[in-house]
Amino acid sequence: MWPSKVFLFFCLIPIIQNRKNVLFLVSDDMRPELAAYYGQDFPTPIHPQIHSPNLDALASKSILLKRAYVQQAVCSPSRTSLLTGRRPDTTHVYDLVKYFRDVGGNFTTLPEYFKLNGYTVAGMGKIFHPGKASGYDDPSSWNVPYFHASNQARYTTKQKSWRAVPTSEYVAYPLPDRQIADNAITTLRTVAPPALSGDKNFFVAVGFHKPHLPFLFEEDFLNLYPRENIRLPDNGYAPVDMPSVAWFSYGGLRSFHDIAKLNASGNINTSLPNDTIIDLRRAYYSALSYTDFQVGRVIAELENLGLGNNTIVSFWADHGWQLGEHGEWCKQTNFEDAVHAPMMIHIPGLTDKGVVTEQLTEFVDLYPTLVEAAGLPVLDLCPEDSTKVALCREGTSLMPLILNPSIEFKRAVFSQYPRSTDGHNVMGYTMRTDRYRYTEWPEFTGSPDYKPLWGNVFGIELYDHNVDPEENHNRAYDLKYSAVRQRLTKQLHDGWRHN
């Protein structure tokens, strides 16, 4: 035994010394409308030119996952899925209330795994969904006191859906995301010396609140987007032959007082007045650019401290956003605009020249990727029932894509969204293949089985992205697509394990 232990000892030293730090950046409700995504991978033409120099710079030295999809297009389910590395049907978190440790299992989270491997692990802002949905920021994930910004009450009122905050106000009462960036900078300065000396690695998670509603930003950012440059979406109508179960009436936006007074119904084939649509789009882009600015401040400090060469920087947003396309707003649907979100990972020494992949990827893939890229022991695939398995993965490491971005990776990627309709609990399961988006809305058993009843379906959607990238025409009932639909039905029912 003795010689093998000696061998193991000498093998482990260089591995541990080579471990990388992680700067884990998160944005809330940011759709992938960034310059780096120009081209075929954003469903609608991008107007106007988006100002996102910091994320574009990060993208240029990252693996840019141009077709990455969240597992459920709303905050807590998406975040819980990514941070546990498991899908909503395993975490059993489909809403903004339930906590995975109560309803799913006592899973080891991504930051917790780094903590268990000896890292300093700090979190700030919105990483998990705050409050009950995360047991108040999942305390076992961190070993540094968690940071939340002040002035939240001032800047989260329901009075206005958007506001350019005047300089006099934001100087006196800094916006939460500026405070979060400030705290990230302070934290990096604290963890830098032990990281640079090789004594202690870090995992610093920085969660920004924007561009989530209300769209607030320091006023200067509005000047980046002259109002006359903002366009209405091309497709302000629901998809032809869309089943009503697919629709969401965007109550989150309509509850703001300035929107409520417009008396918008939220019904299918209605939307907001054109002037309001223009204002909201302009404010969203301004909030996006404001977030980009704060991201840039944090990355600049990482570089200034000399940490750039040994720190992985990942950026993702928890889902996309509908800015009036289909007449829809917010997230909470299975449309491309809601489930498609930005993700990029800079891995020093591996992606410095930039790697762009068009392969279909999923947000559950980030956990195993960061683990492998940082040099931690890799995770096994979860068994069918992983309720009692603390550590496993339901995604796939993206490392092979970095070495060869055109290899075959996944044939399909999966998202889902629950509805309650006609007294039934329904779960919309959607699948994106290279060419199609295919969705079924079956009845759902809920607890304790959490299973779809495929025999009782409340709607089917089939969008052909080759001819209809905006998903304007549901072909599920078009006879020309019946063979395709039959094939996609089987593929969807087979699920992620077989794709």
| Residues that are catalytic | 75, 129
Shortest Å distance, C-beta 74 to Ca ion? 7
Reading the block at residue 471, the tokens are: 């998903």
Shortest Å distance, C-beta 257 to Ca ion? 21
Q: Which of the stretches 21-29, 228-236, 399-407, 414-422 binds Ca ion when contact is defined by CB under 5 A?
A: 21-29
Q: How many residues bind Ca ion (CB under 5 A)?
A: 4
**Which residue reads 């780096």 in tokens?**
36
Q: Which of the stretches 53-61, 73-81, 136-144, 428-436 binds Ca ion when contact is defined by CB under 5 A?
A: 73-81
Euclidean distance between CA atoms 65 and 345, whole angstroms:
8
Sign of CA dihedral 138, 142, 144, 150: negative
Q: Which of the stretches 71-79, 240-248, 253-261, 422-430 binds Ca ion when contact is defined by CB under 5 A?
A: 71-79
Pick one of 21, 24, 27, 28: the residue that binds Ca ion (CB under 5 A). Answer: 28
Sign of CA dihedral 173, 174, 180, 184: negative
Angle of helix 274-304 relative to helix 53-60, nearest 10 degrees, comes to: 50
**Pick 29 or 362: Cβ nearer Ca ion:** 29
Shortest Å distance, C-beta 99 to Ca ion? 17
SS3 149: coil
The interface with Ca ion within residues 75-94 (CB under 5 A) comprises 75
**Pick 75 or 272: Cβ nearer Ca ion:** 75
Question: How many residues does the structure list for the chain?
Answer: 499
Euclidean distance between CA atoms 162 and 155, whole angstroms:
10
Shortest Å distance, C-beta 73 to Ca ion? 9
DSSP state of 207: E
Euclidean distance between CA atoms 257 and 238, whole angstroms:
25
> At a CB cut-off of 8 Å and minimum separation 6, what does 329 contact?
250, 253, 271, 272, 280, 322, 323
Residue 369 near residue 345, CB atoms below 8 Å: yes
**Pick 77 or 405: Cβ nearer Ca ion:** 77
What is the distance, to the nearest Å, from the Cα of residue 45 to the centroid of all Cα atoms in its chain? 21
SS3 232: coil
Reading the block at residue 456, the tokens are: 């009782």
**Pick 83 or 371: Cβ nearer Ca ion:** 83
Shortest Å distance, C-beta 190 to Ca ion? 29
**Pick 286 or 433: Cβ nearer Ca ion:** 286
Shortest Å distance, C-beta 101 to Ca ion? 21
**Pick 75 or 392: Cβ nearer Ca ion:** 75
Q: Which of the stretches 20-28, 46-54, 120-128, 281-289 binds Ca ion when contact is defined by CB under 5 A?
A: 20-28
Euclidean distance between CA atoms 322 and 30, whole angstroms:
10
Q: What mask, x for binding Ca ion by CB under 5 A, covers residues 313 to 332?
A: -----x--------------
The interface with Ca ion within residues 372-411 (CB under 5 A) comprises none
For residue 29, state whether it binds Ca ion (rule: CB under 5 A).
Answer: yes
The site for Ca ion (CB under 5 A) is made up of 28-29, 75, 318
